[in-house]
Chain A
Amino acid sequence: MSNFFDILFSTDFAFSVLRVMTPILFAALGALISNKAGIVNIGLEGTMLVAALTGVIVSAYTGSAWIGLLAAIVAGVAIAALLGFFTLKFKTHIILGGIAVNMFASGGTVFILYLVSGDKGASTSLKSATLPSLHIPLLEDIPVLGPILSGHNVLTYVSLACVAGLYYLLAKTPLGLRIRSVGENPQAAQSVGVRVNRVQFISLLISGFFAALGGAYMSMGYLSLFTRDMTAGRGWIGIAAEAVGRSTTIGTFLSSLLFGAADALANALQILKIPAELVGTTPYVVTVIGLIVYAVAEARMKKRKMAKRALK
């Protein structure tokens, strides 16, 4: 047991929190931007998977991790564009559109992987590249903080930058204002000439962009290969993190961090000889608990307001 707490309070553990948080955070940001525009993109999971595979294949053929990353982004944005085309132009129900993306991704990636590598399980036969880790001068020398914050994959830092970037986009820019108004009252936005479909489409593309980064991180950072269904529900956890974070940028970041910690904790728990099958369910259990706590707290808050009023 003491061994377990040693792990929990080690800098390695804190480091791993950020490491496992990264894909969840990307997915959560993807969920946030599309939700702000009033469209629920549940295709994040599939988008990540497609991007993960694309990154691996392209980096293997070009030998460059960066070109692989670029291709992954293009693939993710393309999936989002396809989803946007169907939901906005053809009025496919957005949830069903998302299901279609996920269905396409889980089978389609295996299909393509098989065509490319002859293997249906993993991309071991492909010599794919990985994105570098960054050791930040000065920061890495600070005790405690250094080992926690320095030495992460470049995409981990990108994910943090994306939090700031998204906050700025939503709060300060014309596009952000349009996104917020389209999500809250699309008729009002349309009546002043804001092209609702276009704003929603752009939001979906950005959402796809974030998911693609998350996917690329999975296969070119977190691991160094593609395996079947490797995202393992992180897209869904991201959606849950956005909900628990009450659709605010900061809240979404904090809840992603929390889910990252839960995930890292799950790994640490294995040392207590709790079966891996059960430990693996931790992030999902935490998500459900998070959603329940949030919903119940909201109901309580309403009740408390009523009680306060009664006193007056």
Chain B
Amino acid sequence: METSPLLEITNISKVYPNGVVANANVDFSLAKGEIHAIVGENGAGKSTLMKMIFGMEEPSEGEMRLNGQKVKFRSPQDAIDSGIGMVHQHFMLVPSLTVVDNMILGMEPTRGFNIHYKEAVRMTRELSARYNLAIDPLARVEDLTVGMKQKVEILKVLIRGARILILDEPTAVLTPQETEELFKQLQALKREGHTIVFISHKLKEVKAICDRITIMRAGKTEGVFETSSVSEREISRLMVGRDVVLKYDKGDRKPGRPVLQARNLIYVNAEAKRVLQDVGFTIREGEILGIAGVEGNGQSELVRALTGSLPGAEGSVTVGGESILGRSIKDIRDRGVSYIPEDRMRQGAAKDASIADNLISMFYRLKAWNRGPLLNRKKIAAFSEAQIERYKIRAKSPEQPIGMLSGGNMQKVVVARECEAAPKLLIAEQPTRGVDVGAAQLIHQRLLEMRAEGCAILLLSADLNEILEVSDSLLVLYDGQFVAYYPDASQVTEETLGFAMLGVQRQSEAEVRRAIHD
């Protein structure tokens, strides 16, 4: 790597208007023809750095050189014109349009004033043949599978003549098989002379495919390494500054009486697809039941049915013997159900409201929290201070708007609120998604404490490590059905779980029905 770098960034910083310092004096360099990984915890500043390279954010200060020339990208168009393309973590596609519409958007071939659709389709077909990325140009994007959508994204970048491809956590939504296919395609692109930036926090993948690694932590670079010269343990130590231990000493488990009993749950969505096909299970006091599965196999519908926001779900669900299916969210919450939602920005928090306001949404209605018509402010203040302390929430005061906090701290507020209500049943949906390791550990510890106190916990997670380590028993959801039940999660390997999640292997119905515990 002695040749001059293709892309070189020196001393770049980014401060957002809300005061968050996302990047502080970051250096980064990219050599031609390499696959270069950027690893770091969530919130380490990887995405921000990439957005600056791709012209989506303007650096607050610092300098960027491409082929030795100083460049300044004011918009993605500038980056695209310089041969840089980006595949975003959340797909950047317009769902109601066709593949070809999405392909040519912003660079439409024309004949007269009209879009030259024939030419556009030809271009798409040619490119997809050349890079072996098969898609139907006339399909509507909303009808495509996740893997297909990603192919469209890569083709979109290539049709724009990108020589540098930035892939932001491309494997997060893929099955292992799709991931493997993607890796082959990336190798092929590399052979053709493309340079690839690969953002991930899956260290195995990084080791498997990347030439060099840049490690980021807390908005700064921690170093650049040849992949072959560092071990996974070293990388993770640099990422978080200590060894990551995802091993919990859970102690003996003695599940108590059943808390949640779901039977014959059926849900058919508006497109007449059977999203939940007769599923049933039981969670008992002091038990953490994990539900694993590739996203989109009915998890979110299951959660919505249990939390009162899926009208049209059929079957029976009881908590502590009382039916909750079809009841209002308030009724369900009043029966001792807490819920940590997967999307804290959309559902879990009101971002302009204070931390205190976000903490009391489970309590403000209760008599003890009111004095006559007025809310008991002393109690609210004391409670908020206590939670900030207990959950190590990094905040200036309970009156600070929650939107000013980092993702991990915001999630801790959500977890604190849901757990402090002392629920009978806690539904935790991706409880540590997008939070740093420290916060994740704290949240996991809290779940285990809740379990020790006798709470029944339903854990849904796409993070295999989490679901294997935290759960007592495991169910696997595939295509709206449970295909496997493991009474003891500690005996399950990632491999077996992976096979079940992909529907390659399934248990007999009788085996799965053990989850009902009748």
Interface residues of A (CB under 8 A from B): 172-174, 177-178, 180-181, 184-185, 187-195, 302, 305-306, 309, 312
Contacts and interface: CB of A to CB of B under 8 A. Distances in A.
B236 interface: no
A173 B116 CA distance: 9
B86 interface: yes
A249 to B, nearest CB: 16
A192 B80 CA distance: 8
Contact of A181 (B79, B90, B94): B94
Contacts of B88: 191
Interface of B: 56, 75-77, 79-81, 86, 88, 90-97, 101-102, 104-108, 110, 113-115, 156, 160, 268, 270, 272, 311-312
A172 B113 CA distance: 8
Nearest to B77: A193
Given A177-B115, A190-B56, A195-B77, A312 B93 contact: no
Give the interface SS of chain B, mostly helix, strand, loop or mixed: loop
A176 B91 CA distance: 22
B97 A180 contact: yes
The 5 closest A-B pairs by CB, nearest first: A193-B77, A174-B108, A191-B92, A188-B92, A192-B106
Contact of B270 (A180, A187, A305): A305
Contacts of A189: 94, 105-106
A160 B120 CA distance: 32
A194 B95 contact: no
B95 A184 contact: yes
Contact of B115 (A172, A188, A193): A172
A7 to B, nearest CB: 44
11 contacts: A174-B115, A177-B101, A181-B105, A184-B94, A187-B92, A188-B93, A189-B94, A192-B160, A193-B77, A193-B79, A193-B81
Contacts of B156: 192
Contacts of B92: 185, 187-188, 190-192
A309 B268 contact: yes
A91 to B, nearest CB: 11
Nearest to B74: A195
A187 B92 CA distance: 6
A269 B108 CA distance: 52
A167 to B, nearest CB: 13
B97 A181 contact: yes
The A interface, classified by DSSP as helix, strand, loop or mixed, is helix
Given A177-B108, A192-B156, 13 more contacts: A172-B113, A174-B110, A181-B105, A187-B90, A188-B94, A190-B56, A190-B92, A192-B76, A193-B76, A193-B79, A193-B106, A194-B105, A309-B270
Contact of A191 (B56, B268, B270, B312): B56
Contacts of A195: 75, 77
A189 B94 CA distance: 8
Nearest to A197: B75
A185 B80 contact: no
A190 B88 CA distance: 12
Contacts of A181: 94, 97, 101, 105
Contacts of B104: 177
B426 to A, nearest CB: 30
B115 to A, nearest CB: 6
Contacts of A177: 97, 101, 104-105, 108, 115
Given A185-B95, A309-B268, A192 B113 contact: no
Contacts of B81: 193
B326 to A, nearest CB: 13
Contacts of A180: 94, 97
Nearest to A181: B94
Contacts of A174: 108, 110, 115
A312 B75 contact: no
A185 B141 CA distance: 13
A173 B106 contact: no
A177 B116 CA distance: 12
Given A173-B114, A193-B75, A185 B108 contact: no
Contacts of B272: 309, 312
Nearest to B55: A193
A179 to B, nearest CB: 11
B105 A172 contact: no
Nearest to A182: B94
A190 B107 CA distance: 12
B105 A192 contact: yes
Contact of B105 (A178, A306, A309): A178
A295 to B, nearest CB: 18
Contacts of B97: 177, 180-181, 184
Contacts of B108: 174, 177
A312 B274 CA distance: 11
Given A178-B106, A305-B270, A191 B101 contact: no
Contacts of B91: 188
Given A178-B105, A306-B312, A309-B272, A191 B114 contact: no
B99 to A, nearest CB: 13
Given A172-B115, A181-B97, A194 B268 contact: no
Contacts of A302: 270
Contacts of A187: 90, 92
A190 B115 contact: no
Nearest to B87: A191
A184 B96 contact: yes
Nearest to A308: B272
Contacts of B101: 177, 181
Nearest to B272: A309
Contacts of A194: 77, 105-106
A173 B115 contact: yes
